[in-house]
Amino acid sequence: MTSSEVLSMYENIAGLTNQMATAARMGDFNSLDKLEDQCATEARATSTGVPALSGAQRLRKIDLLKQILANDREIRDVTDPWMNSLPGMARQ
């Protein structure tokens, strides 16, 4: 995987998690589920390892990771209360 492919992958994941946050806010859990599957498929590429980045590319990757984490927090803010209301589904 090249450094350009690494950034492209993280940009795709950031875009997908942004769409997931929007779907969660709208209560569109079917779309959220489908987007989650797409995101997981995209992220599988990291299981083989990614090259270290430096300079501007490293800073861009950090920015994308911050976006992904912020989107994840927003998704959890919407979905956790719902999940915790389901018997046997409370997150630890």
For residue 13, being part of any structural domain is answered with: yes
- What CATH code is carried by the domain that includes residue 43? 1.20.58.380
Q: pLDDT tier at 91 (50, 70, 90 boundaries)?
A: low
Mean pLDDT of the chain: 90
Helix (H, G, I), strand (E, B) or coil at 40: helix
What is the pTM for the complete model shown? 0.86
For residue 66, being part of any structural domain is answered with: yes
For residue 91, being part of any structural domain is answered with: no
- Rounded Cα gap, residues 42 and 15, in angstroms: 11
> Is the pLDDT confidence value at 85 over 90?
no
Q: Which residue has the higher pLDDT, 80 or 65?
A: 65
What DSSP character marks residue 86?
Answer: S
Structural domain boundaries, residue 45:
3-85
> Is the pLDDT confidence value at 44 over 90?
no
